[in-house]
Copies of this chain bind each other. A is one copy, B any other.
Amino acid sequence: MNKTTSAASLLISAVLVGLQTPLQPIQSALGFSIFGYTCVDYLIPKVGAVFIKRGIFGKDMSKVGRPIIPETIGVIPALVYLLVMFFYIPFLFARKGNNGGGGEADASAFSHSKLSSYLSSLLSLESMILLGLMDDLFDIRWRHKFFLPAIASIPLLIVYHFEFNQTSILLPKFISNAFQLSTSVDLGVLYYFYMAAVSIFCPNSINILAGINGLEVGQTLVIAVLLVINDLYYIVGYFLEDHLIQSAFEVHMFSLCFLIPFLGISLALYKYNKFPAKVFVGDTWCYFSGMVFAVIGISGHFAKTLMLFFLPQILNFVYSSPQLFGIVPCPRHRLPKFNESDGLLYNSYTEYEDSEESAESSDGKKKQLRPYLKPVFNLLEKMYLIKLVRNEKGEIVKSSNLTLINLVIIWFGPRNEGKLCTLIMQLQFAVGLLMLILRHTLAPTVFGFDNSWSMLNRFYIS
Contact = CB atoms under 8 A, between A and B. Distances in A.
B119 A123 contact: yes
Given A119-B119, A126-B127, A159-B115, A154 B83 contact: yes
Interface string A87-110: 101100101110000000000000
Nearest to A156: B86
A12 to B, nearest CB: 23
A327 to B, nearest CB: 31
A161 B127 contact: no
Contacts of A86: 123, 154-155, 158
Interface in A333-379: none
A337 B139 CA distance: 38
A137 B89 contact: no
A79 interface: yes
A4 interface: no
Interface in A135-162: 137-138, 151, 154-155, 158-159, 161-162
Contact of A126 (B89, B130, B134): B130
A165 B98 CA distance: 13
Contacts of A47: 138
A441 interface: no
Contacts of A151: 83
A129 interface: yes
A74 B127 CA distance: 16
A435 interface: no
A151 B56 CA distance: 25
B127 A89 contact: no
Contacts of A138: 47, 50-51, 54
A158 B54 contact: no
A51 B97 CA distance: 49
Interface in A62-92: 75, 79, 82-83, 86-87, 89-90
Contacts of A83: 151, 154
A102 B50 CA distance: 57
A279 to B, nearest CB: 15
A217 interface: no
Given A54-B55, A126-B130, 6 more contacts: A86-B123, A86-B155, A87-B154, A89-B155, A122-B123, A122-B155
| For the complex of A and B, 10 pairs with smallest distance between CB atoms | A119-B119, A126-B126, A86-B154, A115-B116, A116-B116, A86-B155, A89-B158, A50-B138, A96-B163, A130-B130
24 contacts: A54-B55, A54-B137, A56-B137, A79-B130, A83-B151, A86-B154, A86-B155, A86-B158, A87-B154, A89-B155, A89-B162, A90-B162, A95-B165, A96-B162, A96-B163, A112-B162, A116-B116, A116-B119, A119-B120, A119-B155, A126-B127, A129-B130, A130-B133, A137-B137
